[in-house]
Structure 1
Amino acid sequence: MAVNHLEVERKYDAEPDFAVPDLTGLPGVTGIGAPETHHLIATYFDTDDLRLAAHGITLRRRRGGEDAGWHLKIPAGPDSKNELRAPLGRAQIVPARLASLVAAYTRGGRLAPVATLETSRTVVRLLGENGGALAEIADDAVIGKVTDGAGDQRWREIEVELVDGGGDLLKAAGKRLIKAGARKAESSSKLGRVLNGAIERPVPAKPRGTAGDAVVGYIRGQIEVVLKYDPRARLAEDDAVHQMRVATRRIRSALQSYRAVLDRERTDPLRAELKWLADALGEVRDLEVLRMRFTGRLEEIGESTSQSWLAEIWRQETAAYRRLNVTLKQPRYFALLDALDALAADPPLTDRAGREAGKELPRLVTRAWKKLAKAYDEIDGADEPDIARHETRKAGKRARYAADLARPVLGKPAKKTSKRAKKVQEVLGGYQDGVIAMEHLKTALKRTSDASEIFILGVLYGIERSEAKATISTLAETWDNTSPPSF
């Protein structure tokens, strides 16, 4: 089983004769541990076109040291990586769990050795008042070789990795190393250094301030969010499915609201596939929301959360996660990611895409808002008001996302429009969530014969019904206090 670990570190290059300075007196440091030496041999795996390395991801099998085994490192922010580990296993076979976590990048491509690094490491620990390690300083002499490449590369590198210390210690240690003659590392990873110019990273064209630039830039950012949360969703991390689903919906919404900027012949098929992915993510998310909602309700009324019907939601959610993991392994999903990459790299822009963003975007945001207003007006007199409200909620979300896309260009007016659309969306969303909750409670009621659970289900139904009515009663006032965009 993979083990998750957040790695926070900084790297520094040093000359062969560099002397590690005295590190006493750094923030919180009261002592220095005895030096330890290790001989490490790491084989790095990637696709033949280095897709993992292009995204700052490293996958290696390392022998030697205290953490021998497979290590997968995925960027998690400045100076930090999410590291997942697995036992050594077989030398040439990547553990299935780790391989699945990078499937959004490999997309069926074979993972094979691309480089080998041999490291002579000397480690000292910076200790705190209680004797525990605050950070580790690793002094590495590295020999790197590209698989099937000619010649070795040799360098010296100093790593400062936090254990229980804070950012102030990381910063202070770096300053002291630089003062002693070290310098910020040329690469954030040893693999990146040994591969050097072999890694191809796309370089976006310089923005020209057009509507097309704004739309494509936004879509690119949301694609990165999908990729960022893909491995986290596979691991069932908190809020990961939600964030991945929101990014998927934002892309789809942009393709609809800004279809005047992008050729619909290419984007309409993408919208259909994005809906398919959002629905797959939504199955998990909807159950997750129900579970958390009912758990909170039970705690509020002082009842036990050990209810058979609530346990059933847990089972359904677990099964939905399994289905989602199957979906995220399908060629259809990889084809969607390839199509999104192609869209970002070579966007199918229309003539209107070349217009000035500051003039074109207000028109498109206003059009999205008018559709929201039309949907709202259709609620009164609708044969099925709940369906009309749901359609209005979706229109509100599209208007909000359209305004969010325009915010970097239009600033405060777009921000205000987004907030106004969100208010309407939240009222309708609160009501819709209540309706869904009531439907689930009615279904659960039919499946149980336990008198105490029947009573609790009835109490919860009453709460949901009361809150849903109270929420929807505020809709008219919310809309009346919500003004249309003003650009």
Structure 2
Amino acid sequence: MRVLADEAVGVLVEAALAKGARRLQKAVRMVEKGEDDAIHQVRVACRRLRSDLRLFRKLLAGESTNALRAELAALAQACGEARDLEVIAALVKESSTSEDDPEHLASILDTLTAGLEQASARSSEVVLGERTATLLRRLETAPELSPKARTTCGEALPELLDGAARQFAREADKLQPWTADDDWHEVRLLAKRVRYAANTCATVLGDEAKATAVQAARYQELLGQHQDHCAAADALTSLAAAAEPQLAFTLGRLVERHRAARKPLREEFLSLYHRA
């Protein structure tokens, strides 16, 4: 749907939230059909819709927005474990070398695959459950708009997008090569929020918003790779705690490999960010 700059921003709010609801409905149908990548698409749809609800929070009336965001967060979290294990298993394969014991690698991958299958089953049960059905029904109702939603898109959207960008910049400015993993992860989430906000606003703001989305996607990609290595190191460390000594040694080698992979990604992000 094309929205013009002189139209009320409420028109865009309604269109964006309706599109987000349809995206989530489609992803749930993918799970029903057992399609590949379905659980991940549910997670992505939840995050996109939560981002729009956050972006437009001052333009929405009533108390339902926080409850909807909480429900979407719970659904996304229920889909997170399976996706994380899938990524971790792929990273273990990519990072393995001829020096690693093949039997140990096979054992590690078998454990991760078994965990992935169990997590996928749990995720599917949640996605196809009554709580999700109730959420989808709630999303069919048009949002209640506040008086601020009568402001034109041309006036409201630059301020909303700028707010998301400023929050990202405040936290990104604090990052140093030695900053804790959790802080890097938080900046990744903020970069994703800017990207989603810019994509939503691009229908009105055009090339400037599209450029912001592209830059945020570059940040998100680097920080996403960083987070994947952090998650892999944490998961493999947990496996090592209960492993027999020789297997624990192989796990420890893999952990150090993933921890070492953080450094060049941090350096690349900082270089890119401070060059922008």
Question: Scaled by the length of structure 2, what TM-score is found?
Answer: 0.88
Q: 2:215 aligns with which of 395, 420, 423?
A: 420
How far off is 1:300 after superposition? 8.7
Is 2:193 the counterpart of 1:410?
no
Q: Which segments of 5 or more consecutive residues in structure 1 lack a partner in the other structure?
A: 1-203, 483-487
The 5 Å alignment of 1:458-469 reads 458-469=252-263
> Structure 1 residues 374 and 329 mapped into 2: Cα distance closer, same or farther (>3 Å)?
same
- The CA deviation at 1:438 is 0.9
CA pair 457-302 structure 1, distance change in 2 beyond 3 A: closer
Aligned length: 273
Q: Given the alignment of the two structures, is residue 370 of structure 1 paired with residue 144 of structure 2, yes or no?
A: no
Q: Within 1, Cα distance between the matches of 2:39 and 2:124? A: 11
- Check the 8 A contact 1:389/1:428 in 2, yes or no: yes
Classify 1:338/1:296 alpha carbon distance in 2 versus 1 (closer, same or farther; 3 Å): same
User: Per-residue displacement from partner, 1:98-155 (whole Å, max 9, x unpaired)?
Assistant: xxxxxxxxxxxxxxxxxxxxxxxxxxxxxxxxxxxxxxxxxxxxxxxxxxxxxxxxxx
CA RMSD of aligned residues (A): 2.7
Structure 1 residues 481 and 239, CA gap change in structure 2 (3 angstroms): farther
Q: Please tell me the residue identity of whatever aligns with 1:363.
A: E
Return the alpha-carbon distance in structure 2 between the equivalents of residues 471 and 300 of structure 1.
Answer: 24
Q: How many angstroms does 1:352 deviate by?
A: 2.1
Picking from 144, 151, 154, the partner of 1:348 is 144
2:74 to 258, 261, 276: 276
Which of 44, 61, 65 is matched with 1:246 structurally? 44
**Cα deviation digits, residues 359-380 of structure 1 (max 9, x gap):** 2111100011011111223446
CA contact (8 A) 2:47 2:76 kept: yes
Change (3 A) 1:218 1:301: farther
For 1:135, the equivalent position in structure 2 comes to none
TM-score (norm 1): 0.52
1:289 aligns with 2:87: yes
Does residue 429 in structure 1 map to residue 228 in structure 2?
no
1:84-483 maps to which residues of 2 (within 5 A)?
A: 209-263=7-61, 265-298=63-96, 304=102, 307-342=106-141, 346-379=142-175, 385-449=180-244, 451=246, 453-482=247-276
Instruction: Quickly say closer, same or farther: Cα 1:251–1:300, change in 2 above 3 A.
Output: farther
Identity %: 31
Which structure 2 residue ranges, 5 or more long, are not aligned?
Answer: none
Greater Rg over alpha carbons, structure: 1
Which structure shows the higher helix fraction?
2
The 8 Å contact of residues 448 and 454 in structure 1, kept in 2 or not, is answered as yes
1:211–1:357: 8 Å Cα contact kept in structure 2? yes
Matches of 1:239 and 1:341, distance apart in 2: 24
Structure with greater proportional strand content: 1
Determine helix, strand or coil for the equivalent of 1:232: helix
* Cα distance per residue 1:259-281 (max 9 Å; x no partner): 12222522111011110011011
CA contact (8 A) 2:223 2:269 kept: yes
Judged with a 3 Å threshold, the aligned counterparts in structure 2 of structure 1 residues 481 and 234 are, in CA distance, closer, same or farther, namely farther
Q: Is the CA contact (8 Å cut-off) linking 1:406 and 1:414 kept in structure 2?
A: yes
- Counterpart of 1:5 in structure 2 is none
Partner Cα separation in structure 2 for residue 381 and residue 319 of structure 1: 36
